[in-house]
Structure 1
Amino acid sequence: MLIKNGLVFTEKCQFEPLSVLTESGVITGILPADAMIKYGGEVVDASGCYVVPGLTDIHFHGCAGHDFCEATVEAIGQIAEFEYSQGVTTICPATMTLPDEDIDEILRAAGEYSKNPVDDGRAKLIGVHLEGPFISPEKCGAQKKELIQLPSAEKLRAWQSAAGNLIKLVTIAPEVDGAIECIRQLSESIRFSLGHTACGYDSAVEAFGAGADHITHMYNAMQPFNHRAPSLIGAGFDTEGVFAEIICDGVHVSETAVRAAFALFGDDRIILISDSMEATGMPDGEYQLGGQRVSVKGNRAVLSDGTLAGSVTPLADCLRKAVKMGIPLESAIKAATINPCRSIDEDKNYGRISVGKAAHILLLDREDLSLKAVYTQ
């Protein structure tokens, strides 16, 4: 395939008028826009479009009426189809705090799905985000407090085996007993994200020193960033190489706080996530998340007590909202493409338009950033 006449988001994270060649799902050439070549394959005219990498969501729970925690190959397939239709070409869906046997089933289903993936028209499953059960009861959010348990490296190893090594990210509260040792033992093979935590600055710094390098949905389910008690957010700011997720759906985080996050961490470390749940792409009504009833109206999803329960906003819409909030387009694209891939060690294959990378490419309208096409072949 030859994609021409568009503005290409290069590996330098800037737009240039270039042409992109792909073959058998791999990017094989990046050419000057005026290069004269003879090409007998499919030609795509990207006039009026930005040519950007496929998006990667490393923290979401479901969409299109399905939840990753249904623990079936069929549900994962339906989720992957919807994500692809929204421009998300690689996914790392999240679990919830559930009984051990339920987590076992979810991970086995993910492992089974990854053995026989259907890549045509579906986002590629590149990992699993274990969001719970190793969190703080004080900051459990929409997760079931009674099912929270202490971190266990032994249990994580067993779950990783069940998943076929798909677990890429584990959310953990560093202040709970066993958390630091768990991070220290497994951070060479699994990325740890600090979240759903009441920890202070010192505890977070200790966890980052032990090997954690990620913050789960910054601002949400953690202590606030205070001028005398800088908390997890301040520790992440002070620690080089720490990534920070942010839900840019216009509900979870204010516009000012989104701009502040990019200013604090820079666009190399911010990761846009959707944190979407099964109601995404569905009408208002009653749904579920982690075994709890969720009421959805407009762009808000809440438990019966009013607690926010994930979002109903696809990642591409989060990107568009970030731009409307004043985040430069280039920074927003980095935060939804290469940054999440870097954060789970998947940047060798995904997240950039570069020779040798997977040909996961989107065309976005230059006027309103609407999705015009998705290519992965």
Structure 2
Amino acid sequence: MDEDRKKYKIFAEDKKFYLGRIAVSDGRFSSVDLERELGDEELFSGEEDFLLPGLIDIHFHGCLGKDFCDGTREAVSTLAKYEAEHGITGICPATLTLPVEELEKVLGLARTYRDEGLKIGEARLLGINMEGPFISPVKKGAQNPNYILKWDDRIANRFLEASGGLVKYMGIAPEENPAFKDFIPKMQGKVRISLAHTNADFQTAVEAYRAGASHAVHLFNAMTGLDHRNPGVVGATMEQKEVFAELIADGVHVHPMMVRLAFTVLGEDRVILISDSLRSTGMPDGLYDLGGQEVEKKGKHCRLTSNGALAGSVSNVYDCLCTAVKEMGIPLRKAVTAASLNPARSLGVDQDYGSITVGKVADYLIVDKDLKQKAVYQAGKILPIF
């Protein structure tokens, strides 16, 4: 048993912070001794460090010059190492809109990587988020329009089979796939259907959610917005109480006021912070490939050179968490919930990940009161990166 007698400000299962101690045995928390709850005014006072659960990013594409859809072992390993080094110990990378055969290759490689088991120093591959290809050409954003498809049951099941069950989310634009009331119920228990890159009006989005869709891809981005006469996909997402919504809090994609609005209206249990990071993350300014399209990175912005459309981010979920807290006024407790417990719940792995709780896997971070990371642990073992 590895027992840490230091006291920490611990993020517990009830989404509150407590002063306490932990012990780890066989890679899991064997003891979590919580002495007393900490009020918001106490969180950033005192000398104790924070002990946070390892974060989970359920939507990102790449970093350090690599993209998940490169379809190589090197690319997946590069992504997994980068994420772990930044406190993201669980990952669910996103695919691009590409030819079916190419996507099957990417999914098959990910399945092989998953089957090899945990590699200390590389984030756990918990799933795959298929952002395309069943999306809208009107709201394609930075997705390649050449490979957009109408929904096809056979193709969808080919993706699920190729991944060996790793595909956890499959995006659709319901207005482009009017048979959604038939096929969404058939996918229940196989994969979460999300609304992604969609030009749907409010009523169509509501009907898709009522048919069983349960997830919204990067809320506010690449979807119909919140208007007082047509609440759009954003309004439908806010109204449906069982729907999780991804949110990019990098300070570029969504205005701070709208981030605060999302947390207020959806509540702390439905927001999932994501990065939507591209291969240009961690790289110098310049030109990069995104699914066969050219993207230019300038500082924190990535845009298609063809039309100036905003592409993904150059951030990571831990940086998004810090931005949400320090620059957008989101309480630390809510931001941590949105970057750890909520994605774990959405993926269906919260029995093992997402909070500091006896029996859960000991993936966690040590962070000082300025939110600077001091250590990252996987299965109770410290990563040699600090």
Give the TM-score normalised by the residue count of structure 2. 0.92
Matched residues in 2 for 1:124 and 1:28: separation? 21
Q: Which residue of 2 aligns with 1:40?
A: none
Q: Which residue of 1 aligns with 2:77?
A: 77
The 5 A counterparts of 1:124-163 are: 124-163=124-163
2:31·2:358 contact (CA, 8 Å) conserved in 1?
Answer: yes
Misfit runs of 4+, over 6 Å? none
Q: SS of 1:31's equivalent? A: strand
Gaps of 5+ in 2: 37-45, 380-386
1:65·1:278 contact (CA, 8 Å) conserved in 2?
Answer: yes
Deviations 1:56-95 (A, max 9, x none): 0000001121100011122101110000000000000000
Amino acid at match of 1:197: T
Gaps of 5+ in 1: 35-45
Matched residues in 2 for 1:167 and 1:19: separation? 36
Deviations 1:275-309 (A, max 9, x none): 00111111111111112111111111111121111
The 5 A counterparts of 1:293-308 are: 293-304=294-305, 305-308=307-310
Q: Which residue of 2 aligns with 1:28?
A: 30
1:6·1:47 contact (CA, 8 Å) conserved in 2?
Answer: no
Deviations 1:126-165 (A, max 9, x none): 1000010000111000001121001122211111111111
The 5 A counterparts of 1:32-111 are: 32=34, 48-111=48-111
Matched residues in 1 for 2:285 and 2:48: separation? 34
Q: SS of 2:367's equivalent? A: strand
Q: Which residue of 2 aligns with 1:207?
A: 208
Matched residues in 2 for 1:195 and 1:113: separation? 26
How far 1:23 sits from its partner (Å)?
A: 1.5
Q: SS of 2:349's equivalent? A: coil
1:153·1:186 contact (CA, 8 Å) conserved in 2?
Answer: no
How high is the sequence identity, in percent, across the aligned residues? 45
2:180·2:211 contact (CA, 8 Å) conserved in 1?
Answer: no
Matched residues in 2 for 1:49 and 1:31: separation? 16
Q: Are residues 1:170 and 2:173 paired?
A: no
How far 1:181 sits from its partner (Å)?
A: 2.6
How far 1:118 sits from its partner (Å)?
A: 4.1
Q: Which residue of 2 aligns with 1:352?
A: 355
Matched residues in 1 for 2:159 and 2:272: separation? 26
Q: Which residue of 1 aligns with 2:382?
A: none
Q: SS of 2:279's equivalent? A: coil
Q: Are residues 1:13 and 2:15 paired?
A: yes
Deviations 1:192-219 (A, max 9, x none): 1112000011111111111111111011
Give the TM-score normalised by the residue count of structure 1. 0.94
1:153·1:185 contact (CA, 8 Å) conserved in 2?
Answer: no
Q: Which residue of 2 aligns with 1:321?
A: 323
How far 1:2 sits from its partner (Å)?
A: 2.4
Q: Which residue of 2 aligns with 1:370?
A: 372
1:342 aligned to which of 345, 357, 375: 345
Deviations 1:207-252 (A, max 9, x none): 1111111111011001110111111111112112111111001110
Matched residues in 2 for 1:183 and 1:119: separation? 35
Q: Which residue of 2 aligns with 1:226?
A: 227
